Every structure is written in structure tokens, then in C-alpha cells.
Structure 1
Amino acid sequence: PQVLRNVGYDPEAVTGWAFGMGVERIAMLKYGVDDIRLFFENDLGFLSQFV
């Protein structure tokens, strides 16, 4: 509901879905990473696998 409010829609009047397929999600599928948060922890040992 907050996403709809942020763009000026009344969440009582409309519904919506949000989908995203960023590079992190693609890497998760390709390399079998279970938790997207790992990409944002700035662990260079983990991130260097994807360079």
C-alpha cells in the first residue's frame, strides 16, 4: 500500500503488483545464492566471485 501512496494512488481504490529482476536476482539463480542480502553486506570475499 505504501508504494501506491508514494506515487499518488489510493490503495483502497487500486491494487498492484511489483516485480523486479535485477542483476542480483539473476546472479542468485545462476550461482545458487540463497539470500539476496549477501550482495549488500560489502563482503569483498563474497562479491569477488562475481567479478
Structure 2
Amino acid sequence: MRRIRASYDDATVVVYQAYSPQIAEPAVAGGTFVNPFKRSGRRGSNRRCCG
């Protein structure tokens, strides 16, 4: 079963995405995404919906 975790209000929708430990642990330690995370592999990361 797949689940989408999100929260919303009248102005914003936030969708949560899980990452593998190989990506998440260095990101938490460094305070930002680092290798092996690749932004180019994500679709629609800068898209805005609905106005």
C-alpha cells in the first residue's frame, strides 16, 4: 500500500517525501542535500500548482 503524507491549509500544500538512509543521514548531518542526492533526478521539484 502506498501512502501520501501531506498537510495543507488555505494557502499551502506540503507533501512529505521519504529518502533512503544513504541520502537522509548525510543531509541531516550537513543541513542540506549532499551526494548521493541528485536534484536532476527529481520531477517537478520547482513546480507550483494552482496559481
Same fold? TM cut 0.5: no
TM-score, with normalisation over the residues of structure 2? 0.28
Q: Which of structures 1 and 2 has the bigger CA Rg?
A: 1
User: TM-score if structure 1 supplies the norm length?
Assistant: 0.28
